[in-house]
Amino acid sequence: MKKTAKTPKTPKTPKTAKTAKTAKTPKTAKTAKTPKSAAILAVLALAAAGCGSDGAGPTRTTPTGRASSGAAAAGGSWKLEYVDKTVDGELTSVTASSADDIWAAGYELRNGTMDDPGGQFLVRYDGSGWQRQKVPAELDGNRFHPLLGSSGPDNVWLFGFGPRGGASAARWDGTRWQRVPRPPLQGIVTEIKVFAPDDVWVVGGQKRLLHWDGARWNTHTLPAEPTALDGTSGDDLWAVGHRDSGSGVGGDGGELSQPAAMHWDGRTWTLTRTPEYRFPDPVPPEPGASLDGVEVVSPTEVWAYGSHSFNHGEVEKEPSIEHILLRWDGSRWHRQKAADRDPCLSRGIAAHGEDGGLLSGVRRYRTPEGRCLTPSWPKLPAKGEVTAGAKQQLWLDPITPVPGTRKFVGVGKVYVLQRGARTLTLPTVATYEPPKGR
């Protein structure tokens, strides 16, 4: 999501930083959002269309939005926590610093566009209810593409991007917002990891990460291009993305990129060895592989995922895009060969719980023991301007765990399509808690 010197383009994914390119890179077919990196898209299929939902089978909604998936109850249920029926808009970022301190950021549509600084807003849960708030003035007017992160109720970070370029940051200290010096980058902030008030990491693009040490931003140059971040502490941090040189790049396979995973031990960044990918002959045009998300459960359990794709539409017989799922065991990365056949691992990983459970997409939860559960959906809020025959969808992206609990919280919108009346998008927060004993 930043531009400078041209670098090979990796397959399009939800959390890929925008960079300019020097060589042609793999192109993916245009699809709906894929899981985060983070981010995850949940869709309740339109009843009229009868579409499946997240690969979970024919889950449908009635005109009032009631989920009708029979066997899903044993997997727990998503619950609507907040729906703003007064505006058209969407929530696009969320952080949970504790069970009773959750922040979300988003926008309301004004004159059919989100590009109105006055339409940007925050929503906060303080343990008793949700309150809408203005974007803090300490963000220096930079309100677009908000991104939240936190390590506790007294250390919540908010990044934004201004209409004239450049990112800015503000920090909530538990009482008020404080202005933070701007990070030295021109593009938007796409990934952050917050460990402490003096230990914050930001993806900077062009093989860079930025680190806040409590006084200034320091630039770290990496051996490969980072896309996503996660870690357990300030000396156990992973950055994943792609590399455009070295083993497996070029040659007979013509691969433009290979997956990259880099580890920070508190002193240096080290590029670890990851499996390499190559399409069988005949090789499709402009192939490349990359990692788009990472979830660090512990120093000996790290999950990274992405895709192996190519430039579509140039040959008649095209191979399938290859889903990449890797697992770190503390010493090396292993390819999860059954990922495409495992319904709990074939969608990327939205978030991991404190017990090691994995939320894959939003329609599958993998318990710490490896069992695969299917959460059910809530009844959607067909009220207010919503007509009786309206079709409703629930979209959630991103999703994050709630510290000290087994819950996950996701933000997005309820999308309401109604014949003869205007389409509505309602900013929404939902939570999921896996059933106990499973």
Q: Is the pLDDT of residue 432 over 50?
A: yes
Dist CA 90 CA 97 (whole Å): 21
Kindly state the average pLDDT of the residues 285-311: 96
Query: In which band, very low, low, confident or very high, does the pLDDT at 418 lie, cut at 50, 70 and 90?
Result: confident
Q: What is the CATH number of domain 93-368?
A: 2.130.10
pLDDT confidence of residue 152: 96
pLDDT confidence of residue 115: 59
pLDDT confidence of residue 148: 98
Give the lowest-confidence range in 122-131, 340-349, 350-359.
Answer: 340-349
Q: Is the pLDDT of residue 58 over 60?
A: no
pLDDT tens string 221-251 = 999 999 999 999 999 999 999 999 999 999 9
For 3, left (φ over 0), alpha (ψ -120 to 50), or beta?
beta
pLDDT tens string 178-221 = 999 999 988 889 999 999 999 999 998 889 999 999 999 999 99
Tokens of 359: 């939320």
The rounded radius of gyration (Å) of the Cα atoms in the chain is: 21
Q: Is the pLDDT of residue 46 over 60?
A: no
Residue with the bigger pLDDT between 312 and 33: it is 312
Tokens of 297: 């459960």
| Domain positions in the chain | 93-368
pTM for the whole structure = 0.82
Residue with the bigger pLDDT between 131 and 360: it is 131
Task: Please enumerate in sequence order all residues whose Cβ is within 8 A of that of 283, keeping only pairs 6 or more positions apart, or say none.
Answer: 252, 253, 254
